[in-house]
A and B are shown apart, each in its own frame.
Chain A
């Protein structure tokens, strides 16, 4: 595997996403709009007994970061599918660059964008009064979580792209990611849920990751929370990486 290959291909992946505003503007804008609307509408929810934060905005930082990354990281998969449809993938595969590099570069590109995105969200929300009480260690942890989450989501969408070769199918998988977010405690604390919704949120790994990230923001930096958040996304990213490499192998074997 050549380092030069990974770097150039990741750079291409990043700049192609940035050159298609429809690929990143929604994932930047929607979480912020959502946050603004929710903070307005649900500000008083913080007074409910059991609500974990004093300010709804503090509560919403983790939501915005995770939602944004979830939204944005599928760009890698769509672009990969377009490469397959256009034949650019064949160009890469007939060059001497090692094949896993092609997939790893996509994930690296997604990770870089995820890092930037999380920093931008934290900066904007802090400017509006949110506080990351865990300070610099919490910010670094959150950036790392965002990168791993981007790799997890990016890896899944790349796997779908490699399996199907269709950007439509990659985009069709998008709601699945969103349902998994909506059925977690991303938008509302589990303490205040009830019934089946609480049951689903309690088995959704995203809930635990988000709650740990949120704890770093609301309650200050605790190694345990940081480790838990990182472990969950690292596991998701690992599974996703395996799936995408397997999809790559089966696509190449079919040739």
Chain B
């Protein structure tokens, strides 16, 4: 396919956000966000439920007006040039709103017309996308009969109908089984590599951000608390964590030994953990020191810092199961 219908002169397919705020009554869902997504990048927007991810996406795709601040998508202002923004973006919102009474093919056809794709190209383009997301066999069934994974894939295909320069995916894999999740990841990666599509993806899943995103921003209670490539963020948290399980009688002696190798880390009751100051290289020394004091570890496990550790370090809470703000009632 050539350039999307009605696309303006070539410009960077990037996202720039400056001081963006969105309030709902007394709730500040997005609280002064600055960020930049470069052209051709997969950007992960990671945060717990209620952190403000969807609100952010809805402002960027022109569905919500910012209370303050500004954002540009592909160089167009999301408020003043909203119509132009809509022409260059692909959008798959959190709930994959699809009409259950229509078939997959009909929905793609409709979406193509809404994007002004010339009539002669509509069928071919729809067929190509159905093939790509593996829905050819189900194309003429009503969407009401589709599984969750099929719905997401159709939603993605619809978002891609006009070859958008910037693709927004709001929690594209929430509620999917692991297989469907992986196939969606592959599609996003392929899009990014083969077509150079810029992808802005929100997720509550650490592995997803880790797996897909070249850069992530961690959002919590409407604010960006960390931003950068996953590897760099993890390195900033610092040392790997060593978990040691020891017989109950040895707990105290073992703790004394481990104290010399780094800061203690939270651990289960029957075990000890330490942020290993010398990195993985220090492991041999720990084993020797424990042996010298006659401590026989039941097991030892060295884990590199995860994005979860990054989240914990930034917010003091774990991401899995974290709620943004217990004081805020569920919508």
Mask, B63-89, CB within 8 Å of A = 1, is 111000000000000000001001101
Interface centre among A86, A88, A95 (most CB of B within 10 A): A95
Judged by a CB distance under 8 angstroms, whether B198 is at the interface is: no
A91 touches which of B93, B102, B119 (Cβ 8 Å): B93
B114 and A92 form a contact (CB under 8 A): yes
A88 and B98 form a contact (CB under 8 A): yes
Judged by a CB distance under 8 angstroms, whether B291 is at the interface is: no
B113 and A5 form a contact (CB under 8 A): yes
Mask, B92-122, CB within 8 Å of A = 1, is 0101011101100010011101111001000
B97 touches which of A4, A87, A96 (Cβ 8 Å): A87
Interface residues of A (CB under 8 A from B): 2, 4-5, 7-9, 12, 15-16, 19-20, 83, 86-88, 90-97, 255
Mask, B1-15, CB within 8 Å of A = 1, is 000001000000000
A2 CA to B114 CA, complexed, in Å: 8
B102 and A4 form a contact (CB under 8 A): no
Residues of A within 8 A of B241 (CB): none
| Beyond A94-B62, A94-B93, 17 additional pairs, beta carbon < 8 A | A2-B113, A2-B116, A4-B119, A5-B113, A5-B114, A9-B114, A12-B106, A16-B99, A16-B101, A86-B95, A86-B97, A88-B97, A88-B99, A91-B91, A92-B114, A94-B91, A96-B6
Interface residues of B (CB under 8 A from A): 6, 61-65, 83, 86-87, 89, 91, 93, 95, 97-99, 101-102, 106, 109-111, 113-116, 119, 158
B102 and A16 form a contact (CB under 8 A): yes
A255 CA to B115 CA, complexed, in Å: 22
In the complex formed, the residue of B with least CB distance to A87 is B97
Tell me the minimal C-beta distance from B200 to chain A in angstroms: 14
A229 CA to B83 CA, complexed, in Å: 40
Q: List 29 A-B contacts (CB under 8 A).
A: A4-B113, A4-B116, A5-B113, A7-B113, A8-B109, A8-B113, A8-B114, A12-B102, A12-B106, A15-B101, A19-B101, A20-B101, A88-B97, A88-B98, A88-B99, A90-B63, A90-B97, A91-B91, A91-B93, A91-B97, A92-B114, A94-B62, A94-B91, A95-B86, A95-B114, A96-B6, A96-B114, A255-B64, A255-B65
A96 touches which of B93, B102, B116 (Cβ 8 Å): B116
In the complex formed, the residue of A with least CB distance to B110 is A8
Closest 3 CB pairs of A and B: A87-B97, A8-B113, A95-B114
A19 CA to B102 CA, complexed, in Å: 9
Given the interface pairs A12-B110, A16-B99, A86-B95, the reply to whether A94 lies near B63 with Cβ below 8 Å is yes
In the complex formed, the residue of B with least CB distance to A86 is B97
B99 and A12 form a contact (CB under 8 A): yes
Tell me the minimal C-beta distance from B119 to chain A in angstroms: 7
A93 touches which of B63, B106, B116 (Cβ 8 Å): B63
Tell me the minimal C-beta distance from B15 to chain A in angstroms: 15
In the complex formed, the residue of B with least CB distance to A97 is B114
B97 and A94 form a contact (CB under 8 A): no
